[in-house]
Chain A
Amino acid sequence: MERRRCPGKKAPDSPYMPDIYRLRIISNSEAAGDAYLLTLHAPQIARSCQPGNFVQLKIDFPGGGLWRRPFSILDSDGDNIRILYKALGRGTSYLTCFTPDMELNAIGALGNSFSEPGRLDSIVLAGGGIGVPPLYFLAKDLLDKGYLPENIHFFNGAADAGALVFLDEIADLGVSTYAVTEDGSMGIKGFVTEGVMQFLMGVKKTPVKKDTSLYACGPNPMLHVVSKLAEEYDINCQLALESLMPCGFGICMGCAVKVRDKNTTEGYSFRRVCHEGPIFNARDIIWE
């Protein structure tokens, strides 16, 4: 099946190269689930970015912060890109104070993108916590490319109903949307992987044979479970990984992830989440 081309390669003839930009803030406001929605005027990035790509933002918060911070692109519209983030650390907390017309220094767009699923696949998207953005972008992109909304199943997981990000917006795309909460305050009770597992079990029972493509983004323990599910059900699965990123464009080797590699004597090698990733085939990752 040709479509299983390895994620991690940009189109070789792509004329686009990442660059450093000063991006004007269009808006930066609270969104559902304790999140913030940041809209940036970024024509060059907006026109070329793909689902899974990210930008490295420089947030000069008082009293520290050497590195930029990576933010997954939520979507692009005309000349703008949007970013959905939670104020979890000092950098992101400070980012909430930025107001329209202020500028942010950014490098982008960075990273690779997802490979597309089969035209008729059941497409399962699983986002845990703040893992929603690349999958939301992917869902939009697939719909633009003519994939049918009824084939797309979006599982959005969080600790409780109040922490679910972007649930209404996902539902507005017209795809099947499932809330999964750890405390059961909304939708399926459990981790987001619980919802995915129930879905895969259901697919297995239906008489009509249909391929399934699974895409996931979230904390590493969640992605580990997703990988096991993909292996158990023998389905194509791609993960959007997160990592600390000193640079974000491949020069420091700091964002390593261990992958299977037949070409080395060790049988593994370390790839850069920022450069060969952030999208990886689940079966390539070695979890420890």
Chain B
Amino acid sequence: MMEKIDLSLEIAGKEFKNPIWLASGTCGYGEELADFFKLDQIGAIVTKTITKEPRPGHPPPRVFETGYGMLNAIGLQNVGVDEFIESKLPFLEKQNANLIVNIAGRSVEEYCSVCEKLNDASQIISAIELNMSCPNVTDGLEFSKNPKLAEELIKRTKSVATCPIIAKLSPNVADISEIAVASEQAGADAISLINTLVGMAVDIETFKPRLSNVTGGLSGPPIKPVAIAMVYKVYNSVSVPVIGIGGIMDYRDVIEFMLCGASAVQIGTANFINPRISIEIIESLKRWMESRDYRSLNDIVGKVRA
């Protein structure tokens, strides 16, 4: 008999049953995906970015398909932290899934005030992920571009929040490992990457940009090699866990990320095409490990022979 395969991992003292998580902005607050599978089967759900006040988001058009990828500029449409706690958290609590709440703000103070409010619910929140990297709003990106700002943001939120802090980084920077190192030194419990890459598309009939916001964030399979290279770079510069995001469509992509240093991954755009993709990936990852006689994620993570 084979020993049971262990997909679990621990980040800052929090246990996750497997490394397959759902990426922020691609699973809402879990309500719709719960029609397709039981959320407690996945490693964690990272909810859509919430901010101190509700935000209406950008006007349409917000999305455009670019070959086998897509551009989006949703503009952080969200219900605001108060409404999130009031009407979204109770549902998420009932799902019994590890919950990671992704947050953003226009200033360090705004991030901190969201963290403070979430403290009341910290027993059901596994971690807070700081969106320092949204390319579609003026406030998001600065924190991911400037190591000093990143450091300040993480220090301050760490001092307020009672649960672990994950720093989600932008690929739209000169040197991502510089920001990763600054984040780690400031106390980040993990680093997740990448958010979307800035992109643009134009309608040649009307000469108008395809998105109301003019530019948007590119996601899906085209960004995977960029994401993997950045995960590899960051993994080699920090010692906190690295969470890989970008273009994952199947279990092979997951293994690639893990070989390059990702302790866990987040599935984003793929959820749109197959709402059960994360569950299928968990199953096929297990089968692949079984076929190779691997028992735990330690057999894979960071094992690329470069």
Contacts and interface: CB of A to CB of B under 8 A. Distances in A.
A159 B60 CA distance: 27
Interface string A238-271: 0000011011111111111110000010101110
Contacts of A67: 65, 70, 272-273
Contacts of B220: 66
Interface string B57-69: 1111111110111
B77 A253 contact: yes
A250 B28 contact: yes
Contacts of B60: 243, 255-258, 270
Contacts of A65: 65, 68
Contacts of A270: 56-57, 59-60, 77
Interface residues of B, number: 37
Interface stretch (B29-37, B162-170, B177-185): B29-37
A192 B58 CA distance: 31
A251 B32 contact: yes
Contacts, number: 103
Q: Is the interface of A mostly helix, strand, loop or mixed?
A: loop
Given A19-B36, A249-B275, A268 B56 contact: yes
A54 B106 CA distance: 39
Given A58-B273, A66-B67, A67-B70, A250 B32 contact: yes
Contacts of B65: 65-67, 244, 246
Nearest to A268: B56
A269 to B, nearest CB: 6
A276 B69 CA distance: 26
Nearest to A63: B67
Interface residues of A, number: 34
A63 B273 CA distance: 17
A71 to B, nearest CB: 16
Contacts of B271: 247, 251
B115 interface: no
Interface in A4-41: 17-20
Nearest to B33: A251
B275 A66 contact: no
A21 B145 CA distance: 44
B279 to A, nearest CB: 11
A42 interface: no
A254 B273 contact: no
A247 B35 CA distance: 14
A256 B69 contact: no
A251 B27 contact: yes
A243 B62 CA distance: 10
Given A17-B35, A64-B67, A251-B32, A107 B275 contact: yes
Interface string B229-259: 0000000000000000000000000000000
A250 B36 CA distance: 12
Interface string A214-255: 000000000000000000000000000001101111111111
A58 B28 CA distance: 22
Contacts of A269: 56
A185 to B, nearest CB: 26
A68 interface: yes
A264 B57 CA distance: 13
9 contacts: A20-B36, A66-B67, A66-B68, A246-B65, A253-B28, A253-B62, A256-B77, A257-B60, A258-B60
Q: Identify the 5 closest CB pairs spanning chains A and B, nearest first.
A: A254-B63, A247-B272, A250-B32, A17-B35, A246-B272
Given A249-B35, A256-B59, A256-B77, 5 more contacts: A58-B273, A66-B68, A252-B26, A255-B62, A288-B59
Interface of A: 17-20, 58, 63-68, 107, 243-244, 246-258, 264, 266, 268-270, 275, 288
